[in-house]
Amino acid sequence: MTEQDGAARWNFKAAVWSALIGSAGLVVVAWIGAAVGRNQGDDKRIDLQKEIRARDAQIALLQEEVERLKGGHRGPAPSHGDNSGDDNADSEIVKALFALAPFATATKENVRFDLYGCAASGGVTVCALKLTAAVKDTDIMLAVKQTGGIRRTNVEFTVAVDREGNDFVASSVRIGSKSNPSNGQLRTRLVADLATPAVFQFDGGQPRGAEWSVLEIWGSVTHPFNIPFRDVPRQSFVPPPP
């Protein structure tokens, strides 16, 4: 295939995706009008808002694909969903953990915390969760060991304790694509009913035993909270060969 043929092929794909976006927009508008005409109750409006957000997200992904094709990028499409932001060395560990069923679930205010587990590789341990806000978009903060700034006195650090009572303070946290706050407090807004990945990293050597006695998540929604997950298994992860 000549370079001109390749460029024509990518331009054709971009045109097709653009047409799909236009069609999706028309479908969304028509669907919204019909739904509003049928139901005016509060519950129906909430359902309608959820569907609109889902369709907006789909259209945004299509738009990104169009820009990728127009730019001549022929590599794999960007990753979205469970593994957003997994561009650090722990990405393979995080993918493996999210392939498991949730180990435990807890709720604070209107946010559900699904803990998928923890895994160690070398001197680093990561713990993976998904955060889901119910009914409405919700601001949340998760706390780790600070590297600067002023720490609030009523919020502690996320910490894990091994079977011999050794404390391992979380050194970093990632929520979606946001990570590493300088003051130890990572803030973001959770979209309602969208499971957002959150990953804590613990440094400081090899914990004792095959599980944490307790993994305690600290943060705040409208009020400070701490969530103790007990007897959390800690997998040993061997990275696949390159």
Give pLDDT tens digits for 138-169: 999 999 986 544 444 445 889 999 999 998 99
| Residues 48 and 103 both lie in one domain | no
Q: Can you give the CATH number for the domain in which 109 is found? A: 2.60.40.3340
Residue at which a domain ends, from 39, 70, 101: 70
| Residues 100 and 195 both lie in one domain | yes
The tally of domains found in the chain comes to 2
Give this prediction's pTM. Answer: 0.60
| Residues 106 and 195 both lie in one domain | yes
| Residues 134 and 24 both lie in one domain | no
Assigned domain for 81 exists: no
Assigned domain for 78 exists: no
| Residues 230 and 123 both lie in one domain | yes
| Residues 53 and 113 both lie in one domain | no
Give pLDDT tens digits for 172-208: 999 999 987 778 899 999 999 999 999 999 977 778 8
CA–chain centroid gap for 81, Å, is 7
Are the C-beta atoms of residues 96 and 128 closer than 8 Å to each other? no
Question: Distances in Å between the alpha carbon of 225 and those of 142, 151, 192, 212?
Answer: 10, 15, 20, 20
| Residues 12 and 108 both lie in one domain | no
Backbone angles phi, psi at 35, to 5 degrees: -65, -40
In three-state secondary structure terms, 192 is strand
| Residues 103 and 50 both lie in one domain | no
pLDDT of residue 72: 44
Domain span at residue 103?
A: 91-236
pLDDT of residue 13: 53
| Residues 102 and 151 both lie in one domain | yes
Segments of the chain with pLDDT less than 70: 1-90, 146-155, 237-242
